[in-house]
Each structure stands twice: as C-alpha cells, then as structure tokens.
Structure 1
C-alpha cells in the first residue's frame, strides 16, 4: 500500500483553460501546483494575511476588482505590493478584466505571472478547483479487486490466496464489471468520496491461480470492464474461524477508513460450500437498500420488540 502526492504544472492549466498570458515569471510553465484550493484575496487586499496559503493560485473576480478600483492609486499600489511580495504561483483575472496599472506595476516588481480568463468567476473557479482535485487529490494504491455490482462499487480485500479473483470472475460471468484486479488506485474526490481505477498497464487483466493471466475484455467483452468507479462498500474475505464470532444480525454498521473517508464494510468468512459470488451480490444490494433508508435488521428488531411489548401488555391485563 503506497500513498502518492501529485503536482500539476502551471503550463498545463494555462493550456487546458485557454488562459491569456498578461505577463510571465521565469520558467512559469514548469511552476508546480500542489494546493487543492485557490485564493480569492479579499481579506489579504485589506491587509489581513493570517492563514494565507502562498502555494495557491490567486483569483481576482469582479468583487475584488471593484474594491481595488475604488481605492486611491497609492493605496492600490501599497496593497498590491504586499500581496505580490508573497511567492504565489500566479494571479488569474476572470471576466476579461484588466488589472489596474499600479497592480501590474507591482506584479512586474515582484516578477509574478499574471493570467486572464474570459469566463465568469464562479463557473471558472468551480472548474479550476475540480480540475486541481482530479490531479492533486491524495492517492493510494491497495491490493484487492474492484468491481461494479448492481451499480455499487465493491472493493474486495483479503489475504493472498483467499479467493478474491475467483469470486470476481464468477461475478463477471454474471454480468457485473471489473474495474481493477490486484492493484487498485484510489483517489479522494472533491465530494469527499473515493474513486477507484486500475493502473493503465494492467487494466482489463486478471490473474487466476492455475490458469495465469487472462484478458477480461477478450473473454467476456469490453462491456465487462469499467474505467473507474466510486467505492460504496469494502468486502473483506477471511478464512472461516470456528472460534470467531461473526455478525449474524447486521444491526451494527461497520466502516473502514481510506484516505480519511469512512466507507461501509462487511466481513465475509470463507469456507468450502459457500457461494461467495451470491453473497457479494446480496451485500451490494443490501448496501444500496441501506443508503435508501431501509435496514432489514433494524426493521426486524423493531417488529420483534413490538411483539414482545404487546405480549407483555397482554399478560399484564
């Protein structure tokens, strides 16, 4: 299991969003961006710089531009001089706005990159943050098999040789889809959910002991492969232990934490004679049922409690 910390070059963002270049710092295209968010410097322009993250891109929209325009020229120069003294990766203007001459003067003085977009501020900001998240979000690689089962993303984990791939191939034959086998790349999205995919090198391939590597796309068709899938449930397979106490009622909710995100989890004991593929299918449907507000174990418990209460009241009468 390994965690990666990514970066994206400023030049890639400029090209992707078709940004106009107003001025550049040396080697501006190769400036690495590592922050997942951006700064709209409303408070810094008033002189408040506490918690100011210098790794974030600066974004000036109509609100900040109007504030700057209403300031006296010397005050504008002073505020922007302090703002540009920080080593920010770049300043981006939206709505095709022009930077006041005093502000551009300070960008020249501190040698900062200034860019411009014709888009409105809110949609541009949303798209930019989404793109930064897709490239920079924390990423981890875990051993297991990732599938889509009845629309639910199921990450199957367990010790080597416990039968993960065997369960997966049976599920694929039933019409479900493979996302990744052996190595599962997991990334947190901007919605604080987990998205899983496969390393491109091994995408669509599976390893079955006794047979070897198989190409799922060729054997079952390209419809059996999905490029990425949100993780909805983690299924842990473990060898059956006669001394262990397994959850038979399902009243308690179990979770596993990946990249700080809690994901529902279920442990399935493995022993000869159990149809694990059917059990995983039921686990997927039950997980969806719970997300829709239905908990069979709780409903049964409530019905039993109601029956016992009625019997007690009947006996008292």
Structure 2
C-alpha cells in the first residue's frame, strides 16, 4: 500500500511559505520526482512532466526576465496544468506576477523555500519517497538499541512488548509496538515506523496501554528508524534445534531488502533484554569486520591441526 500526500502535508513538513493558492493545498502529489522546467521555458513542451512538483530557481527565473510580460504569461499558463500539484520557488525569490496569475487561474498553489534550489529539491524528494513508498505492516516491536533498529517478532504472548519495555527502562528507544509499518528507503535500507494511532504507545498485558513518552520522556521514543536486525522470539522446545555458534546467517526479505534475522529461544530465567542488547552489539561487531564464530572456528581448526602434528 502507498500513502497519499497532499501539498498541505509538504508545507507542514517543510515550513515552506505559501505565496498564493492557500485554498488549493488539498491537491494530491502522486510522484516523488521533481521537475525543473528549463526547456519548457523556451517553449518545448513535448515531454513536459506536468504531474511533478515544478521547482524554479535562480536559473529559471533569470531566464524568464528576458521575456516580455505577454510571453511570460503564455509560458506560465502552459506550465499550469490541472494535474500539476504545486510550484516551489527556491532561495525565497520573488514569484513572477504572470506565474501567480496563471497558477491562480488553474488552481495551483505556489510555495516559497528559503534554501538554495538544489537542497530544496533533495529535501522534497526525500520527504516524498518516504511518504509515497510502497508499505507493508508486520506484527512486532521496533526498538532503537545502541543506534540500531531491532525489530522483535514472535507469536502473540511470547513477551515482545515486555522485552521492549525493559529495553526502554535501560535507556533504549521505542519506535513501534504491536504493528510496524515498513517501507523501502533505497535498495539496501528498510525503514520502520508506528501507525499514527499507535505512536509512542505500548501494550502490556495486565496493565493495558501506556504512553511511553509520558512515562519515560521524549528521549524514550523515536518516530522512525532503519531496520538493521530482526530478532525472532520462539518458545524453547527440546525438539527444536537452535543455532549455538551463530555461524549460519538467516536473511528475511522485506520489500526487496534482505534483513539479517536471528531466533532466540524463550525460556524461564532468560533475560531477553540483555540478550537482545548483546545481539545488537554482536551484529555491529560483525559489520565492523569481527566475527566471534569465525574466530572460534579458526581457533578450533588450529587446535585440531596442532594435535595432529603432535600425534605424528
């Protein structure tokens, strides 16, 4: 599923100033791509991407100054298509009067940004890619542990929320409880966040729903976080074989992103919060080039080779 984004959402998130068309802020934005109409200002509209946000900077506005007022109005009216969501003017530059007139006629808002145009383009693209990306929801808890996004999964009642609560008490941050909305940020990055109705809330059986930010402060919660590791909690069983060395790596593919996944057996007396902390630190160590399992295997091979030499 994908979210819908309006121009008002963009204004609220960016702090852009509304130059004109305040009554048209409900217009939908359907693509994260941005258009800087350069060729169009010369009259070439064959491939004009009218469904994109139109971004005008110093280059575009300086070029229009060479035109007469009548010529500018003709071009601006051609730029203002009914499907065009909005115009954004970079560097707080003044919008041409002809653009304001044409946009008002077509029902298109014009916004003003303070930053330089290239930065405005980057910021808008990042915002829209996150909002318009395909999304999936997974049952689980997402916690920021030592700066790493750890998503705790497992059957209902296995202790996910209780483990997350203990992690929060130890200084880590809650991102989402019960349901995690996930979207792909790029080819290698998966981002998770809480549905708006569940933001900052956690459910503990026997107590009910608690507001983590109210009880533990703003430092105990986080809006979004990359998902770096999935920790699956599974009830311990004699029949089930669990990885003891950590030499095998399991990957879970979510929205075409492979995320490492480990399974931790749940048994009376095990401190799951501490185990998850260690799992996060161990995963970070692996990313930095140190693998304890590989070191153990190398030491074991060296010991076996040494014993063979002694026997000979």
Common fold, TM-score beyond 0.5?
A: yes
The normalised TM-score by structure 1 is: 0.73
Query: Does 1:196 find its partner at 2:198?
Result: no
- Alignment match, 2:233: 237
Distance 1:150 1:4, change over 3 A: same
- C-alpha separation in 2, matches of 1:45 and 1:9: 24
- C-alpha separation in 2, matches of 1:57 and 1:221: 41
- Alignment match, 2:260: 264
- Alignment match, 2:11: 13
For 1:1-317, list aligned pairs within 5 A.
Answer: 3-10=1-8, 13=11, 16-21=15-20, 24=21, 27-42=23-38, 47=44, 50=47, 53-66=49-62, 83-85=79-81, 87-95=83-91, 96-99=93-96, 112-117=108-113, 119-133=115-129, 135-189=131-185, 192-197=189-194, 199-201=196-198, 203-208=200-205, 211-213=206-208, 215=210, 217=212, 221-222=216-217, 225-230=220-225, 231-304=227-300
CA contact (8 A) 2:31 2:52 kept: yes
Q: Unaligned 5+ residue runs, structure 1?
A: none
CA contact (8 A) 1:204 1:225 kept: no
Per-residue CA deviation, residues 190-209 of structure 1 (Å, 9 max, x unaligned), is 7944143364556343222x
Q: Unaligned 5+ residue runs, structure 2?
A: none
The normalised TM-score by structure 2 is: 0.74
CA contact (8 A) 1:8 1:135 kept: no
Deviation, structure 1 residue 39: 1.5
Per-residue CA deviation, residues 80-102 of structure 1 (Å, 9 max, x unaligned), is 6654457311223323155495x
Of stretches 266-275 and 283-292 in structure 1, the one that deviates more from structure 2 is: 266-275
- C-alpha separation in 2, matches of 1:9 and 1:121: 18
Tell me the matched-pair count. 306
**Partner SS state of residue 179, structure 2:** strand
CA contact (8 A) 1:89 1:112 kept: yes
CA contact (8 A) 2:171 2:220 kept: no
- C-alpha separation in 1, matches of 2:195 and 2:104: 45
Of stretches 291-300 and 107-116 in structure 1, the one that deviates more from structure 2 is: 107-116
**CA RMSD across the alignment:** 4.3
